[in-house]
Amino acid sequence: MRAYLNAEGLALLDQDADTCFLDGTLPHLGAGRFENYTIDPAVRFTDSAPGRFFVEANSLVKQPYVPDMPILIYGDVFDDLVGIKPANDLAVKYCRAGAQVEVMHTFTPVPTPGLALVHISGEVEGTLPSLAYLVARFNGQAPRNDCGAAAMSVWSSSVPLPYYPFITQ
């Protein structure tokens, strides 16, 4: 990774070497696109060799594990850091393997894309529905199972549906 960063990128990496992800990210939200800190700013990070490696290594879709308990997968259609397609692919993978999956999509357009604002606001947006989902599980309530064939065919496409805003069971 260090070989892919330019001088400014290396300086930021060294400055935040001992911080957690959140502490290291928040101070730099207005710093612009990540690509500006690489040796090839014209190439999206996820399209670069280091980016593809990073995404592959951290992708749940590529891992063999399938949960044996109900799971909630949520994401925002406008998330410019982690797109909705990997979340949909994960839902389809888990459903095909027999897992019980509930999907919640949110739609949070922001006026300035590229700053990970939707990703961060999505974490905030999803907190209460996620807690409600967990409380319902601990209270013995059955979750919604969104693994029907119709839903999976929609998730496999680029259509951003089904849309269950803030609704979990």
**107 and 151 together in one domain:** yes
Tokens 């065919």 locate to: 153
- Please report, in tens digits, the pLDDT of each residue of the chain (169 residues total): 788 899 998 888 888 778 776 666 667 666 777 788 889 989 888 888 888 888 788 888 888 999 999 999 988 777 777 778 888 889 989 999 999 998 888 777 766 655 566 667 777 777 888 898 999 999 999 988 888 766 666 655 444 444 444 445 4
Residues 76 and 151 in one domain: yes
Overall pTM > 0.85: no
Give me the pLDDT at residue 135, please.
93
pLDDT at 159: 47
Residue 41 lies in domain:
2-58
Taking 3-state DSSP, the helix, strand and coil percentages for the chain, each rounded to the nearest 5, stand at 50, 10, 45
Residue 110: inside a domain: yes
111 inside domain: yes
Same domain for 51 and 75, yes or no, is no
Do 39 and 77 fall into the same domain?
Answer: no
Is the residue at 167 inside a domain? no
**Domain presence at residue 95:** yes
Q: Which pLDDT belongs to residue 104? A: 84
How many CB atoms are closer than 10 A to CB 42?
6
Are 81 and 149 in a shared domain? yes
Asked if 148 and 75 sit in the same domain, the reply is yes
What tokens were used for 27? Answer: 């101070």
Going by C-alpha positions, the residue among 156, 127, 128, 133 that lies closest to residue 145 is 133
- Alpha carbon distance 50, 47 (integer Å): 8
Q: How many domains does the chain have?
A: 2
Query: Is the domain of 100 the same as that of 53?
Result: no
Note whether residue 148 is domain-resident. yes
Indicate whether 97 and 118 sit together in one domain.
yes
